[in-house]
Amino acid sequence: MSSTLLTGIGELVTCDEDGQAAIGARSGQTVVVEDGLVAWVGDATQAPAADARHDLGGRTVLPGFVDSHSHLVFDGDRSEEFVARMTGARYDGGGIGNSVNATRGASDAELDRLVGIRLDEMRRQGTTTVEIKGGYGLDVANEARSLRIARRHTSETTFLGAHVVPAEFTDDRAGYVELVTGEMLEACAPHARWIDVFCEPNSSHAFTGEESRTVLEAGRAAGLELRVHGNQIGHGPGVQLAVELGAASVDHCTFLSEADVDALANSSTVATLLPGVEFSTKSPYPDARALLDAGVHVALASDCNPGTCYSSSIPFCIALAVREMGMTPSEAVLAVTRGGAAALRREDIGRITVGARADLAVLDAPNHLHLSYRPGVPIASTLMLEGVLL
């Protein structure tokens, strides 16, 4: 066993205090890391001995960002769709088919290479835990291989065969739901922890409330835990369904009724907000302030994907949440650390406390406020010691 004492910390942000707004920021602190875990946190004057010492030169230390919603297994380019939306085109989910065609045509080696590149990009910006969904194969073989590839890079893998109805099933929606809940689920479940569905009756490409229920209940019966894409394009049943079935997270939450907010506030389901999507689709931003004031558990994630948000930057999401969604800088940091961990039902990440994983991010800044104060500036990175991710 080897230990490292982290000294010279300008501000330590633990995200491990009680209350939604308790970020746990303080100065004069040190951290001891031992074999990949946090072994000690406390005042620098009382720090125990360690095998090595690493001086951070006044930088801020905080938990590594937890990106609980991403779609990294894909090939192809959809930049023209982005340009179209900037000039008024409305997003309805139809462009996903373009990514399906490109992804089906890519080799395993190429998809694996692309996932690795995207993950490296995330880690360079302070993200240490990433959830990866399938959803760009939409047939048995391609969804299974997407999850096999994702599993090489993370344990947080999500079966999303119910992303949209593929072109070959346009006239047989029931047949596709049967495929997703039968042969495709059987092939994909061994490689996934989660099942997800794009519950969006406002899109002809996505799934109704009843179709979504069928998918989620089949996944739960197969031993998978539940996630939901809900209420992105308009008001719909996604949030209520997620809460009813005990999903860990319902993601997007752009269009919410008072009943939706109340349901979330009285549940353990996390509302995961994805502000990069609203930026990239010129859609209204979710009202994070209303959710937080109601006592809802809130997370922020990138939704990095080729169509509606090709950004892997959690710092960018933080800046958007503060500027556009009514969150304070501290609330936004909590949402990408402790909130993201809750959305994945994890206690070992998203906070700096004894026994937690030593997945740490550092900021070239005196405090965490600079994440929203200096948008677009690459001040965040993953803490590496001798080239190794802690």
In the prediction, which pLDDT does 20 show? 54
In the prediction, which pLDDT does 89 show? 84
DSSP 276: H
Contact 274, 70 (CB under 8 A): no
Distance of CA 128 to CAs 6, 96, 120, 219, 242, Å?
18, 27, 10, 27, 26
Angle subtended at Cα 334 by Cα 224 and Cα 42, rounded to the nearest 5 degrees: 110
In the prediction, which pLDDT does 389 show? 44
Tell me: pLDDT of 91 over 80. no
Tell me: pLDDT of 352 over 60. yes
Residue 85 confidence class, pLDDT cut points 50, 70, 90: confident
Q: Which residue has the tokens 């490109």?
A: 102
In the prediction, which pLDDT does 65 show? 98
52-56, 92-96, 197-201: the lowest-pLDDT one: 92-96
Q: What is the dihedral of CA 325, 306, 261, 289, to 10 degrees?
A: -10
With 0-12 CB in 10 A as exposed, 13-18 as middle and 19+ as buried, what is 308?
A: buried
Q: What percent of the chain has pLDDT over 90?
A: 91
Residues in Cβ contact with 258 at an 8 Å cutoff, skipping those fewer than 6 apart? none
Residues in Cβ contact with 146 at an 8 Å cutoff, skipping those fewer than 6 apart? 73, 103, 111, 134, 135, 136, 137
pLDDT (mean) for 136-146? 98
Contact 286, 252 (CB under 8 A): yes
Cα(299)–Cα(250) distance, integer angstroms: 10
Cα(48)–Cα(38) distance, integer angstroms: 13
Using one digit for the tens of pLDDT, what is the confidence trace for 168-200? 999 999 999 999 999 999 999 999 999 999 999
Tell me: pLDDT of 310 over 50. yes
Distance of CA 20 to CAs 91, 228, 285, Å?
33, 23, 21
DSSP E strand boundaries for the chain = 3-7, 11-13, 25-26, 29-34, 37-43, 52-55, 60-63, 65-67, 127-130, 132-133, 157-162, 194-199, 225-230, 249-252, 270-273, 298-300, 360-363, 380-382, 384-385, 388-389
The partner residues of 158 in beta bridges, in order of sequence, read 133, 194
With 0-12 CB in 10 A as exposed, 13-18 as middle and 19+ as buried, what is 209?
A: middle
20-24, 151-155, 298-302, 333-337: the lowest-pLDDT one: 20-24
Q: What percent of the chain has pLDDT over 70?
A: 97
In the prediction, which pLDDT does 21 show? 60
In the prediction, which pLDDT does 390 show? 40
Query: Which tokens in the block code for residue 214?
Result: 């069928």
Cα(50)–Cα(86) distance, integer angstroms: 54
Torsion sign across C-alpha atoms 114, 117, 120, 122: negative
Using one digit for the tens of pLDDT, what is the confidence trace for 317-342? 999 999 999 999 999 999 999 999 99
Cα(123)–Cα(61) distance, integer angstroms: 15
Cα(6)–Cα(41) distance, integer angstroms: 10
13-27, 98-112, 118-132, 162-176: the lowest-pLDDT one: 13-27
Residue 40 confidence class, pLDDT cut points 50, 70, 90: very high
Cα(205)–Cα(100) distance, integer angstroms: 13
- pTM listed for this prediction: 0.95
In the prediction, which pLDDT does 381 show? 97
In the prediction, which pLDDT does 19 show? 60
> How much is the mean pLDDT over the chain?
95
In the prediction, which pLDDT does 90 show? 81
In the prediction, which pLDDT does 31 show? 97
Using one digit for the tens of pLDDT, what is the confidence trace for 259-284? 999 999 999 999 999 999 999 999 99
